[in-house]
Amino acid sequence: MHAPAVLSLVLLLLLLLPLLGAALDANCTPASCGNLPIRYPFWLRGHQPSYCGYPSFGIACDPTGASAPSLNDSYLRVLDIHYGNRSVVAFHTNLADDPTGCRATRFNMSTSLALSLLAVSRANWELFLHANCSRQPPPAGSVATHCKDSGAWFMYLGRRSYEPGAPPLPGTTGCRFSIVPVLPESPELKALSDYETLVKRGFLVEWTVPGDCAACNASGGQCRFDADVNAFRCHCPDGRRQPATCAPGELLIPRFLTGPAAYVYPEYTNDDWLEGNRFSRH
């Protein structure tokens, strides 16, 4: 492409970017699912494009309100989102739908989240399930349940921080055991019926995703995810898509105008473009 044509394209782009930016802003306006606010890194499936949030953080909302919204159409049901400390209160449907607690005896929460950007918070308490403690009785306050395939199990609410792989509770050495996270300050576990209440209250999950959305917002931008480069982008009011914030710097030209995405460096003068042809493609 000749230099005058490149310069004309750049000038045209500068005129179009504010209109393009306004369209994208409308697509990603913060939404809600019932009383649950939805914004980056989450996005509302069926109502927003996936670039409004992180791809695996789509929230599926039940239009009838009969069930809690799900995270990415998975087993996790979202009860609350705390954007300030990047945490979610959620419950696991496989556990909540089993009042006997027997599914929890075969459950490993850490394995369930191993391939995601979510981690069970250590602020949770531990709901401890144990069996085959032949050498000593179950801890005081344990609640019994009977499972068809594995016999008698006992539940105990341990008021200690959730820590995967930690040693079992005192008095349970040599036993079979499983640990389920529950919210801190959970109510007492005095009967088997309390188990269902505990797991339906949920547990804390923390997320870690690329990009500093707060810094982007503070600079006047809105947070986006660019699937083409698998990276965070800060979408600016003038249409720029920056790697971090809307501070002056590189300008990302939309792919539909130029083919493969290209970076234009606005600090160059028109003479630089004419002499050096510094238009680079990525």
Say whether 33 sits in a helix, a strand or coil. strand
Domain assignment present for 166: yes
Q: Record the pTM.
A: 0.75
Q: Flag whether 4 is in a domain.
A: no
What tokens were used for 182? 């529950």
Tens-digit pLDDT profile for the chain (282 aa)? 555 665 566 555 555 555 444 444 568 889 999 999 999 999 999 999 999 999 889 999 998 888 999 998 888 999 999 999 999 999 999 999 999 999 999 887 665 565 578 889 999 999 988 888 766 677 778 899 999 988 999 998 987 788 766 656 665 566 788 889 999 988 889 999 999 999 999 999 999 888 899 999 999 999 999 988 889 999 998 888 899 999 875 455 444 443 334 333 333 333 432 333 333 333
The answer to whether position 60 is within a domain reads no
The answer to the question of residue 125 being in a domain is yes
Query: Total domain count for the chain?
Result: 1
Identify the domain containing residue 174 by its residue range.
87-207
SS3 content of the chain, % helix, strand, coil (to 5): 25, 30, 45
Residues 57 and 41: beta-carbon distance below 8 Å: yes
Q: How far apart are CA 152 and CA 59, in angstroms?
A: 38
131: in domain:
yes
Domain contains 36: no
Residue 181 belongs to some domain of the structure: yes
